[in-house]
Every structure is written in C-alpha cells, then in structure tokens.
Amino acid sequence: MAEMSPLAGKPADASILVNVPRLVTAYYTGRPDPSVAAQRVSFGTSGHRGSSLDNAFNEMHVLAISQAICLYRKEKGIDGPLFLGIDTHALSEPAFATALEVLAANGVEVMVDAAGGYTPTPVISHAVLGHNRGRTRGLADGIVVTPSHNPPRYGGFKYNPPHGGPADGEVTAWIEARANAFLAQGLQGVRRIPFDHARRAATTHAHGYLDAYVADLSSVIDLEVVRQADVKMGVDPLGGASVDYWGAIAERYRLNLEVLNRVVDPTFRFMSVDWDGQIRMDPSSPFAMARMVELKDKFQVAFACDTDADRHGIVSQSRGLLEPNHYLSAAIAYLYANRPGWGTSVAVGKTVVSSSMIDRVTARLGRRLCEVPVGFKWFVAGLVDGTLGFGGEESSGATFLRRDGTVWTTDKDGMVPDLLAAEMTARTGKDPGELFAALTAELGTPYSTRIDAPATVEQKLRLQKLSPEAVGASALAGEPIAAKLTHAPGNGAPIGGLKVCTASGWFAARPSGTENIYKLYAESFKSPAHLQELVSEAQGIVQGALERA
C-alpha cells in the first residue's frame, strides 16, 4: 500500500473539497477523445466510472451508454419497465437527466422515484426482481447512476439486466462496444428529447421505491426480535442514497435506531478522510469510519452504508469496526443456524480472495462452499434459484436469501447485512464482534493483508493468463502447497490471476485493471510473523511464475 496520508482519519479540510460547479460544468462541456483509452466507455465489475474533470464521465458518455442500453433491450426483447435510480454524488443528478432524455426518446417505460429522492442499488435490484417474479414476458431491468463509494469527483453508471444483478461480461462488452462506437461517430444515432419533455412523457412513471423495499424487509430480517430486544442501534448513511430509508425503517418496525447524519452534501465535507488523503465513503475503512468508531460505546451495535448502499460496515462495542471478512464469517455462522426455511443443500458463496475462515465456518456447518472469481455477478444464478443462501465479497459486499429461502436481491445490499447485525445481537445476546471471537476460539485466528506490488502491462497480462504449471514451488512458508489455482473451484471460471493454498495459509495475486500493479492478498492462521513470511515468499513465487510464463 502507498504511504499513509497525514490527513487519514481526520475531518475533511476545505482545501480537498471538490468544486461542484466546476465538476458539473465539465460534465456538460467536456469532450472525451475516443482514441484515448482512459476517455472511452469502460465497464469494470461495477459499470462505467470516472470523473468529468478527466473527460472520463461526461454527458457524451451517458448519452452513448444509454442509447446502447436501449439497443441491447431491443435486441434481447426486454420490453418491460426500466427501474432508474441515483445516488448522491454531484454527477448523478445531471447523468440521471441525460439518461432519461435518451430513454424517453426511445420509448422506454421508465420508473423514477415518486418523491424525487435517491435510490440505493439494492432497491433497484429488489424492484426488478419483484416485477419479474412469475413473468416470462414484459421483463424489467434497471440502471443505477452511481460510482459507489468512490470520491466525490466521480460519476458512475451501471446496468442490471432482468435477473436484477450486475450484468455479466458478455452484456457489458456488448454495451461498451456500441457506446464507444457512438462516441467515435460523434453521437450519430443517439436519440434524445429535452428533459422537461422526458419528465412529462407518458412512458415516465413515478414508483414508490422506499415504501416497497421497507415494507418487505421483514421477509429477510427478523425485525420483530430486534424490536422486542430493544437493541440500541446507530446508523450513518455517509450522505448516501439510504439517507431517507433508515428513518422509515425505524418508524415502520418501531426500532431503537438513531440516524446519526441526515446531511446530503455533494462535497461530502462531513466525512473523515480515508488512508490516502481522499474523501471516500467506504464503510469498511477505519479512517472513513473514524467518527462512527468513536461512538461505539453509545450503541449495542452501529453500522453504515456507502453512497449507493451496496456495502456495509459494522461497528461493535466489543471490537470496534469489524474487518469485512470477520463480519462475513460471523454472519454466515449465524444465518445458517437460524434460517430453518433454507434447505440443507443451500450453499455458501464467497470470492477467491475472501477469508478462509469462511471455508472453516462452512465446513463446521456441513454446507457446500461455492468459491467464485471476484465480482458479484458470479453469485446471481445461485441466488435466483435459491441454491446459494449467501454471497459475499471481502470488500464488504453481501446479500442473502429471504427467510423462506427465496431470492431477496441479486446485487449487493448494504442495508440488510447492517440490520442482520442487530438481529444477531438481539437473538444471541452477543454483538457480532463477540460472535466472531467465539469462532476464532474454535476455528483459529486469521491474520490477513493486501499489498500492491509493481507490474508492467506485459506482466499483468501474463498474470491474468497464468497456468498452475507456471508455479514451480512445492512449498510456501514452511508448508507443502496443497493447491495452485487459476480457475475458481466453485464454478471453474478463470480468476484472472493465481491463488496458492497450504493447510494454514494462502495467497492470491490479481492484476489491477487501472494501475501498473498487481494486488496480493494473503492470509495465515498461524501468526503475524507467518503472514509476513507468506507474503515475502508469495512475491517470489509470482515473480518466478511470470518469468516462466
């Protein structure tokens, strides 16, 4: 990791706040050059993201992507409503207007928030699945205008097809190619109408997102047991799209829940600064969550969501801010012991870079583990058909089935894991930190890290295409190597890198999509010293594999 900023964990200084008028002006006036890779449409694991100040997220991008989605819908026969939501980033409002101009011009039936408010990512997924339940025709899909937890200067745009989850690589490649063709052609072929006409169009409809989602929450979380136990909770929406949802949840279910911050400000000046000196609404960062951690003794359990509410952060009295993998492990142990409506064959889903504590918890439960590449899209099919009870990522993203074993959302839902922490506390009398401590006493203590190591473009390509045979080593940090993986055990899909496992540790290496580095994840169940030995040897193994590839 790069050097820690002296601003980390401190209140944001006025000098680092984004100039919102300049940002929005650049959205409309910037002209991306399609011959420059960084200015083209590029869908990563969570849609297209960038800043208007870099000509990476401008009106032209949104016009092109929106028209490409219209063409994709037509080609695939998707003719039901499109559920459109936005978060609270400064660029989300103008991008929403641009998208609606194109969608209305193309005759798409668009569902916008009835109150003109913000709409979290999981709420869009919930709405799409709700509309499509039992249907084979007139299927809905969705768009969320959000760059997730990224800094205030960013904008983002992601598409969820009729399964309600993140679009897979084939879909995003199709949309990306057509959008870039529109950019190259000077937007020739893009249809749009003025925004006021689009708002009044017969195809634009008001939808009660908040009421529908909040009313259905008791089907996935036992909120009655939380109410009866009078669990004292605190929540910080971090200025994001869930800001109006928490008060509605507390009121409907009569919960002892205090909303600590209801401010929406596109500069996010109320945030404490993240490790690198940037404002980032990351509920898993101890620096971004510094204010919440200070309040841990005021509540039995406290939590937060990122800007589009697809990530969670849990603060317990016993351990402060829980590491994402620690909470996922405790949540899985609790859910599979307290969801009698889930069949015994329902599996646990995790990514290849998530903690092996999840493997140990799953084995103790007698459940099947489904280990997939990084990207929430890999959990979608299992959540839809109910064969996966839980899907979680090490980056604080998760969702799980309803209490009756049917699908809740197929995209990450930050609000549901937050509320689950309260259910766990209410039913067990212990907070999630204490529950994780009990797991470590039984299954061992994991020590983990992630570092960034330099890599050339050529080396990143080699790493992405490595075969297990490229790893010449037979031992790692004093233990025999048990597995050399370049494909995920759960579905056989390429992991885009390498994972090497021993009895008490592992490492995984994946190339960065945006920087000349590779990310090295490592975990030991022995000691911090063993973890450092593992990391050191892992770097040598990766270097050797790259040289032999």
What residues act catalytically? 148
Distance of alpha carbon 94 from alpha carbon 192, whole angstroms? 14
| Dihedral, 203, 207, 209, 211 alpha carbons, nearest 10 | -170
Best CA proximity match to 542, nearest among 477, 432, 459: 459
**Distances in whole angstroms, Cα of residue 89 to Cα of each of 12, 95, 318:** 17, 10, 33
Distance of alpha carbon 505 from alpha carbon 446, whole angstroms? 9
- In the block, which residue shows the tokens 């047991």? 225
Distance of alpha carbon 447 from alpha carbon 525, whole angstroms? 6
- In the block, which residue shows the tokens 């940002």? 23
Distance of alpha carbon 217 from alpha carbon 480, whole angstroms? 47
Distance of alpha carbon 338 from alpha carbon 342, whole angstroms? 9
What are the residues facing 508 on neighbouring strands? Answer: 499, 521
DSSP letter, residue 301: E
- In the block, which residue shows the tokens 């952060």? 313
75: how many CB neighbours lie within 10 A of its CB?
10
456: how many CB neighbours lie within 10 A of its CB?
10
Distance of alpha carbon 314 from alpha carbon 271, whole angstroms? 17
Task: Give yes or no for a contact between 233 and 301, defined as CB atoms under 8 angstroms apart.
Answer: yes
DSSP letter, residue 7: T
